[in-house]
A = this chain, B = another copy of it.
């Protein structure tokens, strides 16, 4: 079992420099061009200057609706000394009409009177007034645009106007993308077995190529067979300008990319001092670049953007568009190994005008992080990360308008928060960022002024009430508003048919029942602990009390996929997973808002969404909730 375990840790700049150098050496950056019909040129870049094929106008033209005259024939005309011209002496013209050589001026229609087959002139015309000269817009052979100009709607219109028919444009580079992996399938389906994964990296990279102006050629999925992968590479080498091999770049058993590149060409880099993206591969086969991208989506995206994007743009004679940069304060400590360039995705929102960057989960396997991300913080090699509250520069991948119009809701998650997010986006044009940090996490985020609001369902063991005593303890001086969102049913989620015949919490201590818990600080975990102690059940006896999931849905999903047998969660999670639900308790789920941190307009939008009929309709259609108190102010402290 020979495994390719040891890969380098090459610094990013060195790797990019080497890659560029090799491509320069084989003249790969030579810009290829092609001649196309002007009408298909939208969105392309010119490969040479575009010259007007014909003057516009190509004749002397009227610039107004009016009459063409010989200026001399109107000499001395005025309101008090009108001059009448016969119809034979003039020509009625519209804007753009040809002015024959016998005329040399146009009088606006508003300034003439037609009387008895004559035209009354009330003001003398100056020679060549309201007359467009030949080529006023574009003269034949004028350079309309130079090389490397973008062809948009206006360029297209100008080319047509000047009778340009065919033009030479930069050829779009072709990127051959080869997804490899025996575990991959093309489309998700219900028959998927454990271990199967839907191919998505190849699709993502192909879409990125499209954004960048390149053409993607995506190969069918190739299983982990060295000979088949080699054949795919050879096939793509004939068709494409750049070859990308997806996955197969780390040290796993079926990672053939590096050796194929070495055998067919030259391996330039294997292993990069970046995080994510370490197992990246760069090489050259027959003067064409080959990039091996790691299998995790965030790594694949990073490596492709770091290496494919600059070389593709350069080959098209363009520079990579700069992302706008915003200075933010990082919400929590970001540790980083000094030996690597680290790239961390963040969300961004303003908390009372202070822009905060919230690091997203750094797991490279999470496709959802790329979807959530508003931008990227680059922690350069040689530095050791950022302390909580430190300034950082974020390269924005989302529009500043969306970022500036964002609400943050850190705390316990509930399905109804998703309804709010959707209603806010749809009806109020307001984006809400919601991260599940549990109810206690939500309180702490409020204390640290990192969130506008928090979803809470914290049971007070002593009073049996929810949330208020916690707020009084942790936020004694803050203006705050606690609003009920829903009452919700918590219970045990079990498989269809309830194979373990679970009836209540007492069944959790049966050794054959595999339980899954929620993370520390989650309201549901507090509720469980409260209920267990009330029923005098011991946590030590519960098989799986220490296994943690972060959401209700994740608990239900684990039950459904046989990761465990039961867990405490809300009714909604059982419903969407088509599982059974043993009700245990009804709890109050409130939203705590700090009005000082939120603009009045945003607060109004949020309250409007909570009180909207759509919200109530969606919640009641969903089931497992009670809405009697929804929207009521549970507690308010005005400071």
Interface class of chain A by DSSP: loop
A478 at the interface (CB under 8 A from B): no
Q: B557–A55 contact, CB under 8 A?
A: yes
Q: How far is the CB of A113 from chain B (nearest CB, A)?
A: 11
Chain B residues near A254: list those with CB within 8 A. Answer: 94
Task: Give the nearest-CB partner of A546 in chain B.
Answer: B127
CB of A371 within 8 A of chain B?
yes
- Measured between beta carbons, the chain B residues less than 8 angstroms from A95 are 250, 252, 295-296
A341 to B361, CA, bound (A): 50
Please state if B554 and A133 are interface contacts (CB–CB under 8 Å): yes
Contact B422 A557, beta carbon cutoff 8 Å: no
A95 to B250, CA, bound (A): 9
Query: Within the assembled complex, what's the spacing in Å between the Cα atoms of A396 and B526?
Result: 55
Determine if B198 and A1 form an interchain contact, defined as CB atoms under 8 angstroms apart.
no
The chain B residue with its CB closest to the CB of A418 is B143
Q: How far apart sit A622 and B524, CA to CA, in the bound complex (Å)? A: 81
Closest to A224 in B: B94
Kindly state the separation between the CA atoms of A546 and B558 in the bound complex, as whole angstroms: 89
A194 and B58 contact, CB distance less than 8 A:
yes
Q: A188-B163, A207-B156 are in contact. Are A136 and B365 (CB under 8 A)?
A: yes
A267-308: contact bitstring with B at CB < 8 Å (1 yes, 0 no)? 000000000000000000000000000011100010000000
The B-contacting residues of A in range 58-74, CB under 8 angstroms, are: 58-61, 63, 65
Partner of A192, one of B58, B149, B295, B317: B58
User: Across the interface, do B211 and A137 meet the contact criterion of CB distance under 8 Å?
Assistant: no
Q: Give the residue of B101, B162, B194, B365 whose beta carbon is less than 8 angstroms from that of A562.
A: B101
Pick the contact of A250: B65, B132, B134, B194 (CB < 8 A): B65
B210 touches A60 (CB 8 A): no
Please tell me if the beta carbons of A147 and B110 are within 8 angstroms of each other in the complex: no
- Copies per complex? 2
> Could you tell me the distance in whole angstroms from the C-beta of A343 to the nearest C-beta in chain B?
14
Identify which of residues 370-387 in chain A touch chain B, using a CB-to-CB cut-off of 8 Å. 370-371, 373
User: Is there an interface contact between A96 and B197, defined as CB atoms closer than 8 Å?
Assistant: yes
**A363 / chain B contacts, CB cutoff of 8 Å:** 63, 136
A371 and B561 contact, CB distance less than 8 A: no
Within residues 156 to 192 of chain A, which ones have a CB less than 8 A from any CB in chain B?
156-158, 160-165, 183, 187-190, 192
The docked-state distance in angstroms from the alpha carbon of A301 to that of B153 is 10
Which A36-62 residues have C-beta < 8 A from chain B?
A: 39, 42, 48-49, 53-61
A553 to B56, CA, bound (A): 12
* Bound CA span A191–B63, Å: 23
- State whether the Cβ of A476 lies closer than 8 Å to any Cβ in chain B: no
- A135 CB within 8 Å of chain B: yes
Cβ contacts under 8 Å, A65 to chain B: 250-253
Residues of B near A18 (CB, < 8 A) are none
Contacts A136-B366, A143-B418, A145-B371; is A55 near B157 (CB within 8 Å)?
no
Chain B residue at minimum C-beta to C-beta distance from A39: B203
Give which listed residue, B53, B134, B563, contacts A60 with CB less than 8 A: B563
Q: Is the CB of B421 within 8 A of A146?
A: yes
- In the complex, chain B residues whose CB is within 8 Å of the CB of A141: 553, 576-577
Q: Which residues of B contact A59 (CB under 8 A)?
A: 194-195, 561
The answer to the question of A239 belonging to the interface, with a C-beta cut-off of 8 Å to chain B, is no
* 15 A-B pairs with C-beta separation under 8 A: A60-B561, A94-B253, A95-B250, A95-B295, A97-B195, A101-B562, A127-B547, A137-B367, A139-B553, A139-B557, A141-B576, A146-B421, A148-B426, A161-B367, A165-B188
Q: Which 9 A-B pairs have the closest CB atoms?
A: A163-B188, A59-B194, A153-B207, A157-B204, A154-B370, A94-B252, A141-B576, A98-B194, A98-B195
Other contacts beyond A58-B192, A161-B200: 6, CB < 8 A: A55-B557, A55-B561, A58-B561, A97-B195, A127-B546, A144-B371
> A residues within 8 Å of B by Cβ?
1, 3, 5, 39, 42, 48-49, 53-61, 63, 65, 92, 94-98, 101, 109-110, 114, 127-128, 132-149, 152-158, 160-165, 183, 187-190, 192, 194-195, 197-201, 203-205, 207-208, 210-211, 250-254, 295-297, 301, 317, 319, 321-322, 363, 365-368, 370-371, 373, 399, 401, 418, 421-422, 425-426, 429, 546-547, 549, 551, 553-554, 556-558, 560-563, 576-577
